[in-house]
Chains A and B, each alone.
Chain A
């Protein structure tokens, strides 16, 4: 196809140069993407596509070009010159000087257009990949216009300019092993190998580059230093841009260069810090600190940052400091205090040992009086408090359990329980009462501190509080959800569930029973989900090392949960029904694993689930049912007859479902049966699918590992195949193969290949009688529905093979697609000609599974996205398609982006 594209390219260039209209505004970007791919793949565009050179010189010299085409050309030239060879060719043809001369574009009146400016920057960005390019860049004096563009009115241009400035310094910075002194010594070696880049993708240093680079560094440093000044809006904007660039540089530059850059801007940063603390400035200081923490001046900068008088700024700075994982003796403790300060004030716990007249404390307390700032401050404090709990205790201003109790107290305040609070902070307390936002942040914080060392002692308090939250009718559904999550987490870390008082357990059961009847479906769903999670969590008893399900924290254990969940199966909301099925699977899993005997109720329940699968009007519960059987089948120790019977039923009902995800889940179940059969046949085929935790999540694509034939266990191959036919696995896979949903067909196809590889040996292998026995295993294709399509495929295949198999193979993918489209549309007119009994192996080998899997593997828009299609589009839109091929034209008509 590439050859075909190259043939079309000159005409495309002509169309573009003529300024004809384009199919859509993304065409040029796509074309560039294709060129980039080719360049990355090692194709020399300059050599292989000389038409591109012609095109660039035509466009550059034309005065009337469209700005979009100009921009494209600028980027293209950069791309062409990104290799040294291309660079030389372009420089010789003097295109390069002209293209990257801003004066040229200004004179032509194109520089006003931001798309030309951005084309210029991106062209330069592509170009600056080798030492020659840097020298050209410096000699042509391009640094000045580039620095000016950093404050361009267009945000995109300004941002791109910053990016390229960062690129230049990072890409051309000396390699760590190469100091200025050793550089010359290594030059010879460099020349001999002549690599364009080092292993880490950076440019090796050379003498001529050294000078250019020094110039660039000097100019950029000077520019940064001059722009980092406070002042009016324009100056502020300039400073912000430079700060963003500095952040980029400080995080990626290596020591000598980074240090010199820092040295150049420290004074300016200090001055800026005095006037206004902005987020980018904070980022720069923290980035500087993380790279040069020992520098006294940087240390001083951080100190001034952390002594800002604005409470919110201080809080954000402290949080940013800890989030970066920065630690030092002075600042870490200071940050911890700053983050905990709002908690200290609002809860009135006074754990920070501060003078009530402290300036920071007073200004924070004043801020907390205002409702909106109060909520945001508290949330920031709570969100970042887990950062403190992981710190070394020596940095902490108070013990961990005090922090946990403060979070608990905050939660109590939010629900209006203000009894234990001093009245001094009543304004702030009033602001947080009933705030769902604060509640959620505090619950999140409570969840993250569950594993901290002081947590165990607080279990009862946490339990009591969460119960209160779950019992509060005014809580938002999201607060309920979060409370349940926190409860599960704390139960899972609680080593000794028996330490929880019985009354609390009883209360929890009462609350759960009530919430499962809640008016809001979200609350019912969260409750049911909670019960499932509880059943899935394993806790260790202190006296007994054997793990037990956490639902034992409820009086009556899982037997008290089951009726609640079974009731939820009748819920009018499908999400709740699905969650209930999933939760029931989780509560029953231990029984399955231990091979517990099936009770009458359990059998009746299975019948109920099968009814859900065939009768429920919503997809989610049906998916959950299939998932339930997947869990049962994969975790059960023994295969009861009920399980076998139900699985067969699920396979037939699930494969006939209208929801494609139910079908994919059904195929997953079929895969388990297949895996089981194949593992009996050969242990190497055992391949367990990833278990989907969520009841209605799509199963991730399994890794396809073709089965390798072993010599053992072939005597029962035929019996195995027969079992798979009887259990309905084969028919599920075949029906899936012709399904109109690609994920279903793809999964079925892959599984059929696995089956074919494992059980149906190719005819040329000599396996004696066994092959014959296997070949005799037959399958009765019904004469209706999906089977008709299978028959049609077989007929088409046979006919085609008879005519000319080789022609078909060499045909391009469009023909194959037609075949694919054909079976998707159905073959109503084809007669089934009665039930056909066919050999399974014959069927599998005649379905063309390997070709089919290739087609199915391609995404549905693969034809439309091909470069060929793109080129044809451009030609077609440009009206320059001189040799119209009707078939292709038709394709192009439907080819829309």
Chain B
């Protein structure tokens, strides 16, 4: 038994874009590696074709004229934007030495976007574990991001505004942006490839040993294709990492809840960002607004990621098109990876929900968007250039990225359709504030509808889940331990647990509470055979073991002590030292009255008994000797009278059992 110290280093404060490091049993495990892209909202959009509007925006000069950042900062509708290649806010790098990380566990493709920053620039030499769809779709998303950036290169990189003195002078929200010096430009495709080459694929419930110390295993989390929660366990301790899980019946395999049971600690991240927006209602709202706009002759723009919710949107529309008389309306999906995303989704059959899996055996494509493509209702293009411009018909519905509206083809449609109030932009991704996303496009005539679809667990579901799996302790972002600031009375929108959850924020280091602190030690059979157990009390037997403890790769084995060297053989220096036969172990209690009687028989009559909290002190006045009888020990304090001490010792031993 030894004291186990488990630490959790929190490198990201964003509850749905987690990056934590768990130090557990001599392993250092990074849990997710998400990239906070909300920083791009401070930048001007990157238009695909020259935008006179954006190029004419006035530059910023401080009121007193002392600071001139005309080239770096532009003003649009009363807000300042950085005119530069957008940059991302990375996970914290200074909290611990990231080169010591042994493995990175990825829970879903949205939570791996910072991977190249970690694997390529920190001296990381470990392995990344992820499921196949996570790797493939994650690669698509990274590739898309890189292409969006590289398509519109900006030589200039704005850095002056990041100067602390200058930033303090800027108006909000630039003034309040944190850690701006750590913000980094997007990685390159080469870095992506190198980072992803470190990924080792795993399947659900597959067990992977890490240095013999812990075992990791991904479980289906029900949120997206290949999304997983992770179990990290040793023989006696179990940590569950729950990140981005969903109990709704959408396309992925349902969440595996039962394997999360009996956890000592459950790290909970990635709950819904929209606890009050029910995904079903939002999906309905999305369809109604879409139909309403098309009926009125307008176009619909849906800024979205190229994988994930879009599959559900297309499926919902597939059913809705006919009922809303939208049969003739074209649907366009524009992304550098549109084709791969639509095709990948159809081939990961084993990662889909049961209904979709059974379709594969018919054989039918699991997702109905195949039929939409076949009937020419849904068309996909890598970008607005090329075929799209010749096929383009209005009114239409366009799905395209990036949901931040700062780069990607969506920027073009914003410029194109923003001026007409017939058109509608429907936000479905919950990652960005839609008002902030729209800020550089103001004034905007286009209608805006916010239908965030977040299928991740809500507070009601998570309370039920935790009641079911009963972890001893829950660790979660501190945002989950209080109601959202805008709805401070909604006590239903927070985690209320007993014991209360341990909150973390960016840069927190938590010492995780573990109750059980044991190691498993193996005994070799021949050693086990030599043991002579004796029953201490019914059901409990003990035996003396003399052995050599052999520890290798975090596995501990008790081996037989080698026999003492024969006299004939030469003494070898390396041989382990041979101890004498161990003294027998004692057990039992010394009963006071019989012991006093025994002392009397041996001529010790003047005994003063004093009761203490732990037992008794016997004062042998004539001999000036003390005997302390306690529950777990007996002390004989007797100066300069060795025969008496030995006598008393032997008397005490009479009452005890020897093993």
Residues of A within 8 A of B (CB): 416, 418-419, 421, 423, 426, 429-430, 433, 472-475, 513-521, 567, 570-573
The CA of A653 and the CA of B276, in the complex, are separated in Å by 52
Shortest beta-carbon distance, B4 to chain A, in Å?
38
A570 touches B325 (CB 8 A): yes
Nearest residue, chain A, Cβ from B486:
A419
Residue with the greatest number of chain A CB neighbours at <10 A, chosen from B291, B323, B487: B323
A residues less than 8 Å from B322 (CB atoms): 572
A416-B282 in contact given A515-B288, A517-B288, A572-B323 (Cβ < 8 Å): no
Q: Is B7 an interface residue (CB 8 A)?
A: no
B492 touches A519 (CB 8 A): no
The CA of A419 and the CA of B489, in the complex, are separated in Å by 6
Shortest beta-carbon distance, B319 to chain A, in Å?
8
Chain A contact residues: over half helix, strand or loop, or mixed?
Answer: loop
Partner of A418, one of B280, B284, B287, B489: B489
Partner of A519, one of B287, B325, B487: B287
B489 touches A517 (CB 8 A): no
Nearest residue, chain A, Cβ from B293:
A517
Write out, one digit per residue, whether chain B residues 530-561 have a CB within 8 A of any chain A CB (1) or not (0). 00000000000000000000000000000000
The CA of A520 and the CA of B320, in the complex, are separated in Å by 10
A416-B276 in contact given A423-B489, A519-B287, A571-B323 (Cβ < 8 Å): yes
The CA of A416 and the CA of B451, in the complex, are separated in Å by 17
A residues less than 8 Å from B287 (CB atoms): 517-519
The CA of A559 and the CA of B74, in the complex, are separated in Å by 46
Give residues 485-511 of B contacting A (CB, 8 Å): 487, 489-492
Q: Is B175 an interface residue (CB 8 A)?
A: no
B residues less than 8 Å from A514 (CB atoms): 285, 288-289, 292
B residues less than 8 Å from A571 (CB atoms): 323
A residues less than 8 Å from B281 (CB atoms): 472-475
Between A and B, 28 residue pairs with Cβ closer than 8 Å are: A416-B276, A416-B490, A418-B487, A418-B489, A421-B489, A426-B489, A429-B491, A430-B492, A472-B281, A473-B451, A474-B277, A474-B278, A474-B280, A475-B281, A513-B292, A514-B285, A514-B289, A514-B292, A516-B292, A517-B290, A517-B295, A518-B284, A518-B287, A518-B288, A519-B287, A520-B284, A521-B323, A572-B323
A473 touches B292 (CB 8 A): no
Shortest beta-carbon distance, A845 to chain B, in Å?
53
The CA of A517 and the CA of B289, in the complex, are separated in Å by 8
Q: Is B283 an interface residue (CB 8 A)?
A: yes
Nearest residue, chain B, Cβ from A567:
B295
A residues less than 8 Å from B288 (CB atoms): 514-515, 517-519
Residue with the greatest number of chain B CB neighbours at <10 A, chosen from A474, A516, A520: A474
Shortest beta-carbon distance, A662 to chain B, in Å?
25
Chain B contact residues: over half helix, strand or loop, or mixed?
Answer: helix
Q: Is B607 an interface residue (CB 8 A)?
A: no
A426 touches B295 (CB 8 A): no
Q: Is B54 an interface residue (CB 8 A)?
A: no
B residues less than 8 Å from A573 (CB atoms): 323
Shortest beta-carbon distance, B455 to chain A, in Å?
15
Give residues 155-207 of B contacting A (CB, 8 Å): none
B residues less than 8 Å from A418 (CB atoms): 487, 489-490
Interface residues of B, count at CB 8 A: 28
A residues less than 8 Å from B609 (CB atoms): none
B320 touches A519 (CB 8 A): yes
The CA of A430 and the CA of B292, in the complex, are separated in Å by 34
The CA of A572 and the CA of B280, in the complex, are separated in Å by 21
A residues less than 8 Å from B277 (CB atoms): 473-474
Q: Is B324 an interface residue (CB 8 A)?
A: yes
The CA of A532 and the CA of B545, in the complex, are separated in Å by 91
The CA of A229 and the CA of B105, in the complex, are separated in Å by 71
Residue with the greatest number of chain A CB neighbours at <10 A, chosen from B280, B288, B322: B288
B residues less than 8 Å from A421 (CB atoms): 489
The CA of A419 and the CA of B451, in the complex, are separated in Å by 23
Nearest residue, chain B, Cβ from A521:
B323
The CA of A419 and the CA of B291, in the complex, are separated in Å by 33
Closest 8 CB pairs of A and B: A473-B281, A517-B291, A418-B489, A474-B281, A473-B285, A517-B288, A519-B284, A430-B492
A residues less than 8 Å from B276 (CB atoms): 416
Give residues 270-319 of B contacting A (CB, 8 Å): 276-278, 280-285, 287-292, 295, 316
The CA of A727 and the CA of B289, in the complex, are separated in Å by 47
The CA of A571 and the CA of B288, in the complex, are separated in Å by 13
Nearest residue, chain B, Cβ from A517:
B291
A residues less than 8 Å from B283 (CB atoms): 519
The CA of A515 and the CA of B324, in the complex, are separated in Å by 12
The CA of A514 and the CA of B278, in the complex, are separated in Å by 18
Residue with the greatest number of chain A CB neighbours at <10 A, chosen from B277, B283, B292: B292
A residues less than 8 Å from B320 (CB atoms): 519
A residues less than 8 Å from B316 (CB atoms): 519
A residues less than 8 Å from B282 (CB atoms): 473
Partner of B324, one of A423, A472, A517: A517
The CA of A519 and the CA of B292, in the complex, are separated in Å by 12
The CA of A419 and the CA of B487, in the complex, are separated in Å by 7
The CA of A571 and the CA of B324, in the complex, are separated in Å by 7
Shortest beta-carbon distance, B280 to chain A, in Å?
8
A residues less than 8 Å from B325 (CB atoms): 567, 570
B289 touches A426 (CB 8 A): no
Shortest beta-carbon distance, B295 to chain A, in Å?
6
The CA of A416 and the CA of B275, in the complex, are separated in Å by 11
The CA of A386 and the CA of B275, in the complex, are separated in Å by 34
Nearest residue, chain A, Cβ from B287:
A519
Nearest residue, chain A, Cβ from B323:
A572
A residues less than 8 Å from B292 (CB atoms): 513-514, 516-517
Known: A426-B491, A429-B491, A570-B325. 5 other contacts (CB 8 A): A473-B282, A515-B288, A516-B292, A518-B288, A572-B323
Shortest beta-carbon distance, A392 to chain B, in Å?
36
The CA of A725 and the CA of B281, in the complex, are separated in Å by 56
Shortest beta-carbon distance, B484 to chain A, in Å?
11
Shortest beta-carbon distance, A539 to chain B, in Å?
27
A473-B278 in contact given A517-B288, A517-B324 (Cβ < 8 Å): yes
Shortest beta-carbon distance, B462 to chain A, in Å?
15
Residue with the greatest number of chain B CB neighbours at <10 A, chosen from A472, A518, A570: A518
Residue with the greatest number of chain A CB neighbours at <10 A, chosen from B278, B320, B490: B490
The CA of A464 and the CA of B280, in the complex, are separated in Å by 24
Shortest beta-carbon distance, B217 to chain A, in Å?
36
Residue with the greatest number of chain A CB neighbours at <10 A, chosen from B277, B280, B489: B489
Shortest beta-carbon distance, A514 to chain B, in Å?
5
A residues less than 8 Å from B323 (CB atoms): 519, 521, 571-573
Shortest beta-carbon distance, A75 to chain B, in Å?
58
The CA of A421 and the CA of B492, in the complex, are separated in Å by 14
Residue with the greatest number of chain A CB neighbours at <10 A, chosen from B283, B295, B451: B295
A433-B295 in contact given A473-B278, A515-B288, A517-B288 (Cβ < 8 Å): no
The CA of A571 and the CA of B285, in the complex, are separated in Å by 18
B residues less than 8 Å from A516 (CB atoms): 292
A residues less than 8 Å from B324 (CB atoms): 517
B residues less than 8 Å from A423 (CB atoms): 489, 491
The CA of A133 and the CA of B291, in the complex, are separated in Å by 77
The CA of A433 and the CA of B490, in the complex, are separated in Å by 9
Shortest beta-carbon distance, A20 to chain B, in Å?
60
B residues less than 8 Å from A473 (CB atoms): 277-278, 281-282, 284-285, 451
The CA of A571 and the CA of B322, in the complex, are separated in Å by 9
Give residues 239-280 of B contacting A (CB, 8 Å): 276-278, 280
The CA of A518 and the CA of B281, in the complex, are separated in Å by 10
Give residues 434-488 of B contacting A (CB, 8 Å): 451, 487
B residues less than 8 Å from A419 (CB atoms): 487, 489
The CA of A514 and the CA of B424, in the complex, are separated in Å by 13
Nearest residue, chain B, Cβ from A421:
B489
Shortest beta-carbon distance, A273 to chain B, in Å?
39
Nearest residue, chain A, Cβ from B290:
A517
Nearest residue, chain B, Cβ from A474:
B281
A residues less than 8 Å from B290 (CB atoms): 517
